[in-house]
């Protein structure tokens, strides 16, 4: 797949708030984000951008089991043109339910949660967990020093968080987190 770098920087200049990153994620971060995925899972990705994390997902999961939700029309067109077999929705992640998503095993999220209002974070995570089967989980990265979903929000949604690795080989370095329903515990992450 093409790196989409020129496209990334054009969209960054046009809408820095929606992108909220200085560069696409690195291959090291993509590998860490995809580490909890195993063949046979049905996986959704939120905010794939130019597909940096998607490459990590596709190294583990066949294209027909991967569905992308990208709000930016140019990124969505690029992904659809370069990733045969992958389902691409040019739609906000929080519409996953309306678009028929209801039996996913995992959601990989590259969404810039820290630059979103708390109400939107809640809406997106509620929609993600409605679309996940029992035992399903969300893998999320953030550049911030703490987990990107505040504790009270996790309590309202009935979620627990497990802290994954810090990935230094990324600009800027990022930390991986895994969210799951409290009832499912934190048993999934194995790196
Ligand atoms: C920080 S970029 C991450 C791109 C890519 N995942 C990566 O790691 O390089 C955030 C992406 O999320 C997309 N985005 C922001 N809000 C969204 C939403 N509510 N639903 C779907 N995509 C969204 C932006 O258009 C952008 O492509």
Q: Is 137 helix (H, G, I), strand (E, B) or coil?
A: strand
**190 part of a folded domain:** no
* Domain containing residue 122: CATH number: 3.40.50.150
pLDDT tens-digit profile of 97-148? 999 778 999 999 999 999 999 999 999 999 999 999 999 999 999 998 889 9
pLDDT tens-digit profile of 13-33? 887 777 677 778 999 999 999
| Pocket (CB within 6 angstroms of ligand 1) | 18-21, 24-25, 46-49, 52-53, 69-72, 75, 92-93, 110-112
Q: Whose CA is nearest to atom 11 of ligand 1?
A: 47
Separation between Cα atoms, residue 10 and residue 5, nearest integer Å: 9
Taking the CA atoms of residue 137, residue 141, residue 147 and residue 151 in that order, the dihedral angle to the nearest 10 degrees is -40
Atom of ligand 1 nearest to the CA of 29: 8
Element (H, E) at 18: helix 16-19
**84 part of a folded domain:** yes
For the chain, give the number of residues: 191
**189 part of a folded domain:** no
**74 part of a folded domain:** yes
**52 part of a folded domain:** yes
Q: What is the pLDDT of residue 185?
A: 59
**191 part of a folded domain:** no
**131 part of a folded domain:** yes
Q: What is the pLDDT of residue 191?
A: 42
**106 part of a folded domain:** yes
Two tokens, residue 58: 């596709």
What percent of the chain shows pLDDT beyond 90?
79
Count how many domains the chain has: 1
Q: How far, CA to CA in Å, does 23 sit from each of 9, 18, 142?
A: 8, 13, 13
For 143, the domain range is: 5-184
Q: Whose CA is nearest to atom 13 of ligand 1?
A: 47
Q: Which residue has the tokens 């979103």?
A: 116
Q: Whose CA is nearest to atom 19 of ligand 1?
A: 92
Q: Comparing 3-12, 55-64, 81-90, 177-186, which segment has the lowest mean pLDDT?
A: 3-12
Burial grade of 86 (CB within 10 A; 0-12, 13-18, 19 or more): buried
Q: What is the pLDDT of residue 69?
A: 97
């Amino acid at each position: 797949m093409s790196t989409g770098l020129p496209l990334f920087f054009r969209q960054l200049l046009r809408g820095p708030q929606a992108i909220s990153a200085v560069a696409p994620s690195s291959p090291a971060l993509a590998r860490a984000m995809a580490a909890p995925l195993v063949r046979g899972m049905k996986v959704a990705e939120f905010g794939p951008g130019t597909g940096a994390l998607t490459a990590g997902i596709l190294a583990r999961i066949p294209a027909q089991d991967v569905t992308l939700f990208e709000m930016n029309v140019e990124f969505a067109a690029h992904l659809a043109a370069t990733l045969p077999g992958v389902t691409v929705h040019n739609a906000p992640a929080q519409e996953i339910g309306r678009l028929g998503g209801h039996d996913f095993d995992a959601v990989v999220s590259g969404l810039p949660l820290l630059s979103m209002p708390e109400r939107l974070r809640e809406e997106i995570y509620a929609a993600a967990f409605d679309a996940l089967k029992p035992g399903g989980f969300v893998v999320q990265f953030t550049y911030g020093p703490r987990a990107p979903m505040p504790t009270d929000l996790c309590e309202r949604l009935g979620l627990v968080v497990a802290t994954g690795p810090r990935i230094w080989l990324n600009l800027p370095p990022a930390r991986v987190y895994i969210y799951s329903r409290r009832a499912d515990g934190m048993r999934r992450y194995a790196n």
